[in-house]
Amino acid sequence: MSVDLLTSGDIAIPHPRRRVPLLGDVLGVHVRTPLQDSMRMAAELGPIFERKVLGRRFVLVSDPDIVAELSDESRFRKHLAPAVAALRPIAGDGLFTAFSDEPNWQRAHNLLAPAFTKPAMRSYHEIMTDVAEELTAHLDSSARTPVDVSSAMTKLTLETIGRTGFSFRFDSFDRDRPHPFVEAMVRALGHAQRDVTPMGRFVGRRARARHAADVAYLGEVVDEVIRVRRERPQDGPSDLLEIMLRAQRELDPERVDEVNIRHQVITFLVAGHETTSGALSFALYYLSRHPEALARAQAEVDEVWGAHDRPAFEQVPKLRYVRRVLDESLRLWPTAPAYAREARADTTLLGRHRMSAGDWMLVLIPALHRDPVWGEDADAFDPDRFLSERVRARPAHVYKPFGTGERACIGRQFALHEAVLVLGTLLRRYDLHADPGYRLRVQERLTLMPKGFTLEFTRRADRA
């Protein structure tokens, strides 16, 4: 397909051929799948291209060499892309949505970083295991009935972050429908994402009123979480909320104010369960489609965990193949699929793309993860891509499911431990049976999630 060219700096950057006056590059684009549309454009236009939407310019990149330079913290920093900035009415200056020069970001990061160390992970392990067992009880009650995987994983991850981070129960497995917090969150995220598309101009007054009500409800739930904690101080190990409240009580220099505590709680409740539930759902999808991988993963769990129904903390990271399954699933469908980087000062990328201070580019992670550096079969599912020797043979900065730099996901180790623990628990107990007619459909909101994907979880013959 031929393309028109737009010069940027010293080199021409391609853009889609059919550009509509005023609207820009909107032909062939679907309001519900902008990320997947961009992936198709990358396949046609190459690893750097431009899109214009309603006068707003986006430069999208998936070139490993460009991404490596953008990862240089001395030259670049996080930029709030429009889709992320649209979340500020929901999460304010929380860790994910804060501008890098906002003081609460650095304070909160310094304050909360100890909550994600290895000793902290150890203190969360028993709670994670408890919630995983509630999931299996839920699945046992649904034997021989197709289970919506994304919904089940969302219940699990919301309950996990609620209890580990804030000692708050959502009682997700006691509900026939998702918790109202999840329903309000999904609507609020969808509204925020539509607001930055051409369709955002046609959102009516009623929809905006509903969005305002959803945002207010999210805040009310979080205020209730904080109120309960103030009335019932925690005795055990400090969770995220206790760390922030204690810093206030003790006038810690890194303390954040009351409004920012709300923003941080919303950030962790949303981001802390959305991304992990998607990662688990994609991993289960690929395992259900690859019997040899499923059998290999089950055999590893049987060997490593042995007779233990509740694995010890140290047994989880020993599931190395299960971890590779998760890594490969995140390669193909990183649940947080893009991040933006802006130049700290005037600079040049690869010696040919001039950028002024404040100029930014959007890293299209699924396209980066399908770069030829991954091989000719980059679209295929192969967990052994993450064998140590193959990882060492690849260039740095070609795998970015958790972002990059100082603003990379603070909860990475939390999410990985939780996801491997849950996958191990499910694989030890169940065989997976998918609808053979299902074809993967990816739902886009803030994160990516399989849509309409169901599984029958049947007890393994040797575990019945």
- Tokens 């902290």 sit on residue: 120
d(CA 42, CA 80) in angstroms, rounded, equals: 22
CA-closest candidate to residue 411, choices 237, 135, 419, 448: 419
d(CA 277, CA 285) in angstroms, rounded, equals: 12
d(CA 232, CA 294) in angstroms, rounded, equals: 44
State the angle between helix axes of 258-289 and 180-195 in degrees (0 to 180), rounded to the nearest 10: 90
CA-closest candidate to residue 244, choices 226, 253, 256, 229: 256
Cα distance between the two ends of the chain:
56
- Fill in the amino acid letter for 236: G
What positions carry a catalytic annotation?
Answer: 275, 402, 409
3-state secondary structure of 213: helix
d(CA 440, CA 456) in angstroms, rounded, equals: 16
What DSSP letter does each residue of 111-156 carry, written as one string? HHGGGGSHHHHHHHHHHHHHHHHHHHHHHHTTTTS-EEHHHHHHHH
Give Cβ neighbours of residue 249 (< 8 Å, ≥ 6 apart).
none
- Tokens 């690859």 sit on residue: 290
d(CA 189, CA 196) in angstroms, rounded, equals: 12
